[in-house]
Amino acid sequence: MARPADAIRDYTTADRTAVEACFRELQEWEQAIDPDRVPAGTIVEAYLDWLHQQCREKTGKIYVAEVGGRVVGFLCVWLEATLAGMLSRVRQVAYISDVVVSAPYRRRGLGTALLARAETYALSVGASCVVVGVLAGNRRAWDVYRHAGFVEYDLRLLKPLPPPAEPRPADG
């Protein structure tokens, strides 16, 4: 569990650079797992802007993990109206879009503490469940989520298709 000197707190604008660095680390980690992930440097600023937009539009929050006054991780959570549209009875879902703790600070309970903060937030806004996505190959994250009480709900399967054939020039 997180040590008393560690803190999970609300994001402030002063945290932006540190959160961007955490996102870069997450994206690079996920690129090693799945080559479909785009380079962090090409999207980091736009992605953080998008997270803030989601939080504004969907009653969301960004929390940071801080150790010794330094931001070393973050989590973003917002509300979704339903889990699976009309197919599910589950309504008012707290969706966690990102969870990351910088490598030197892992295995201290910070990820678990971030998840607990998101759960507390979800309860405070009337969510009936918390949902988080994970890349199939990210076994470390799977373990953290299972330890925090998450269970598999549904799975998406992906089949890459070949690129479209080049159009042939018209005979002239």
Whichever domain contains 124, its CATH number is 3.40.630.30
Give dist(CA 9, CA 93) in Å, integer: 22
pLDDT: which is higher, 152 or 61: 61
Number of H-type helices and E-type strands within the chain? 4, 5
- Structural domains counted in the chain: 1
- Looking at residues 20-39, what average pLDDT do you find? 93
Identify the band that residue 48 occupies on the pLDDT scale cut at 50, 70 and 90: very high
Q: What pLDDT score was predicted for residue 153?
A: 87
- Looking at residues 6-17, what average pLDDT do you find? 95
Q: What pLDDT score was predicted for residue 127?
A: 94
**Residue 77: inside a domain:** yes
For residue 60, CA distances in Å to 126, 139, 159 come to 13, 27, 32
- Going 119 to 121 to 124 to 128, the CA torsion angle's sign is negative
- Looking at residues 38-56, what average pLDDT do you find? 95
Average pLDDT, the chain: 91
Q: Is the pLDDT of residue 172 over 60?
A: no
Identify the band that residue 73 occupies on the pLDDT scale cut at 50, 70 and 90: very high
**Residue 163: inside a domain:** no
State pLDDT tens for residues 94-140: 999 999 999 999 999 999 999 999 999 999 999 999 999 988 888 88
Q: What pLDDT score was predicted for residue 88?
A: 82
Q: What pLDDT score was predicted for residue 1?
A: 56
Among residues 115, 126, 46, 120, the alpha carbon closest in space to that of 79 is found at 126
Identify the band that residue 70 occupies on the pLDDT scale cut at 50, 70 and 90: very high
Helical pair 139-147 and 110-124, crossing angle rounded to 10 deg: 50
**Residue 34: inside a domain:** yes
- Looking at residues 43-69, what average pLDDT do you find? 96
> Any alpha helices (H) in the chain, and if so which ranges?
16-33, 44-57, 110-124, 139-147
**Residue 160: inside a domain:** no
Can you say how many angstroms the Cα of residue 90 is from the centroid of all Cα atoms in its chain?
A: 21
**Residue 52: inside a domain:** yes
**Residue 169: inside a domain:** no
- Looking at residues 62-88, what average pLDDT do you find? 92
**Residue 170: inside a domain:** no
Q: Which domain holds residue 87?
A: 6-147
**Residue 128: inside a domain:** yes
